[in-house]
Amino acid sequence: MPTLRADGRLADQLRPIAFEAGIAPHATGSVLVSFGATRVICAATVEQNVPLWMKQQKVPGGWLTAEYSMLPYSTHERKPREVSKGRQEGRTVEIQRLIGRSLRAIIDLRKLGQHTLWIDCDVLQADGGTRTASITGAFLAARLAVQKLLDTKRIAENPLTDSVAAVSAGIFNGQPLLDLNYLEDKDAEVDANIVMTGQGRFVEVQSSGEEATFTPEQLQSLLALAQSGLRQLAALQTAFLAKQLLKL
């Protein structure tokens, strides 16, 4: 019999995935995404303006940028707001840059026109995989926002060229696992985050040993697990959007 994990999953099994649209009514598009107990509000807001550097350099088209935060009550012990420290943590900067890169990989910014698409990802509850949940939900929020731009004739064409999703994988107690929860992630010998488009092209592969090394074969096993999970996530995104776009 395959070995079950502490939460009852198989090694190659995603946590329960759920999407809820319209969680932030004042955003142009928003989704509450759940990867098991990890819950993130992903909101996309359109601003009819572009950054100053684009104007100065006469760069055509629009821009997409992302911000990420963990709410104070998202972890077991209260996490102080970064604004109270006067600066962002390095981890926060790294994650919001990753979210921005992931979304910019699948958008034609020229078709966005003179608009900035702000992606805000706020973690309500953290149980591992907050960055991967954020990317997966951010695409959905962006797609809903883009549809509103199309419906109101603010843009002529859909600038999104593909979908994008992300998932974690790692080696825990010597075994490759998909979609790590917090207990697995904090003690994993190897930790990886993989971002992939719906067409199966990689956007980013982050993999590191935690006081350990890993073999090429182990890396390939993590990539294979991630690809399987990401195909499932892409199918879930497609099914969710098929329902939601009919309502707009």
pLDDT digits (tens, 9 = 90+) for 16-63: 999 999 999 999 999 999 999 999 999 999 999 999 999 999 999 999
C-alpha 87/C-alpha 111 separation (Å) is 34
Q: Which residues pair with 40 in a beta bridge?
A: 33, 123
C-alpha 214/C-alpha 208 separation (Å) is 9
Superfamily of domain 17-247: GHMP Kinase, N-terminal domain (3.30.230.70)
pLDDT digits (tens, 9 = 90+) for 165-190: 999 999 999 999 999 999 999 999 99
The tokens for 107 are: 């958008």
Per-residue confidence band for 2, with pLDDT thresholds at 50, 70 and 90: low
pLDDT of residue 161: 98
pLDDT digits (tens, 9 = 90+) for 94-111: 999 999 999 999 999 999
C-alpha 37/C-alpha 16 separation (Å) is 9
Task: Give the torsion through C-alpha atoms of 175, 176, 179, 180, to 10 deg.
Answer: 40
Entry pTM: 0.95
Tell whether the model's pLDDT for residue 1 goes beyond 60: no
C-alpha 139/C-alpha 132 separation (Å) is 11
Contacts of 203 (CB under 8 A, 6+ apart): 101, 102, 105, 106, 164, 195, 196, 197
Tell whether the model's pLDDT for residue 86 goes beyond 80: no
pLDDT of residue 210: 86
Percentage, residues of the chain above pLDDT 90: 90
pLDDT of residue 48: 94
C-alpha 147/C-alpha 158 separation (Å) is 8
Q: Kind and range of the H or E element at 247?
A: helix 216-247
Distance of CA 156 to the CA centre of its chain: 26
Domain ranges for the chain: 17-247
